[in-house]
Amino acid sequence: MSIGVVLLVHGPAESRLARRLGSRRDLVLARRCADQAEALATIAAGIGDVLVVSEPLAAPDTDLVAAAAASGHELLVLLPGGHDHDESRRRWVQVGARHLARLDDPSEEVVRRIVLAAAGPGPEAGVPGGPSEGDVTPAGTTVPAREGATGRLLAVWGPVGSVGRSTIAVNVAAELADRGAGVLLVDVDTRGAALAQLLGVLDEAPTLLAALRAVAEGRLGAEELFALAPEVAPGLALLSHSPDPGRWREVRPSALGPLLVLARTAYDWVVVDVGGGRADDGPAGRDGVLDAVLDRADATLVVGAADPVGLQRWIRCWSTRDDEPPVPAPVAVLNRVAGSPAARREVRDVVRRHAAVAEPVLLPDDPSVAVATTRARTLVEATPRGNLRRAVAELADQLDAGLLAPAPSGI
């Protein structure tokens, strides 16, 4: 069975490689492309098996790598020689490219790499110029990991609506930072980003979008991430999103996944506020953004409001359909619970009966939250003795100690 090859290669190397492919019985030149748009359309149509690209016709881009993977193609990148080689190689590896060669390699060597790439998705161990062991994190992002530490990722999610999800995300992150952890708070709410406003950050240039652009182009390492994410409280950094809901498409799932992998190597905790509900719009839409977070989460706070409408929405969100991916380590969190013992029992009874959750985390309705919101401060700073602050502090203690077990049923 022959291997179909799609070429997007610059300069004389393209003609040499095309002639060499024509001399092989096991390889077929499926298409010679003039630009990246044509190459993407070709592989999307299912033509060929291996896509071979070179700069400047193709630049390091997570979307290109993701498109090749989505269409079932292996990607081979021909790197420039000379002083540009090392930087180009670093950026391609960072965006997730696994198979690399040199543009000035003999055609027979490039053909050998094509055959190796077609044999499987793994990196070419021991191939000169390819990724070497220790260079790449599990998602392909080149970062120096903190010695002896791997951060944990907490997703904060729930149904659509104003259930207090962002308030919980901000204050759980603040509590973890107050215990001495290095925490990165990430706003990935594609419907109503609000973390910058809650923390009093002037947000003319959302730092999340800048970080995603740098990841997509292979330009983001740990130092660049530290520079992009300002510290909004001791130990607490923020990647902010635009409050303009029209900009949600700038949050590319193909770049968000590697960004979160990088963040976990640089911080003790990564707390991600992700937009509520599911949109049923596929991997390139809001659901793709949600899945990029949940696929990498160690635990998920599924936050709902403890009123009749909020509970109904939360139960529907908790009861994931069979065609939806599972939520990792879900923890049931009900917010704005009335203070009386009878009200707390009623909420517990409802979620036990309709969602099979025996011990949800109940957070009290606390008017003092308005003080923190008005001052654009965390509960740690604004209302350290408030009821909600104490409940969130207990939740953070349990998360930090690994004491919160995921629900045995439900999502």
* CATH 3.40.50.300 correct for 152-401: yes
| pLDDT tens digits, 28-65 | 999 999 999 999 999 999 999 999 999 999 999 998 99
Instruction: Evaluate if residue 297 carries a pLDDT over 70.
Output: yes
Cα dihedral across residues 376, 240, 243, 258: positive or negative: negative
Distance of CA 222 to the CA centre of its chain: 15
- 152-401 matches 3-118 in CATH topology: yes
Provide the residue ranges of all domains of the chain, joining segments of one domain with +.
Answer: 3-118, 152-401
| pLDDT tens digits, 189-243 | 998 899 999 999 876 689 999 999 999 888 898 999 999 999 999 999 999 999 8
Judge whether 180 and 235 are in contact, CB under 8 Å: yes
Q: What pTM was estimated for this model as a whole?
A: 0.76
C-alpha dist (Å) from residue 322 to 327, 352, 361, 404, 410: 12, 21, 25, 25, 11
For the structural domain made of 3-118, what CATH number should be given?
3.40.50.2300
| pLDDT tens digits, 114-145 | 999 998 655 443 333 443 333 333 333 333 34
Q: Please report the pLDDT score of residue 398 as a whole number.
A: 93
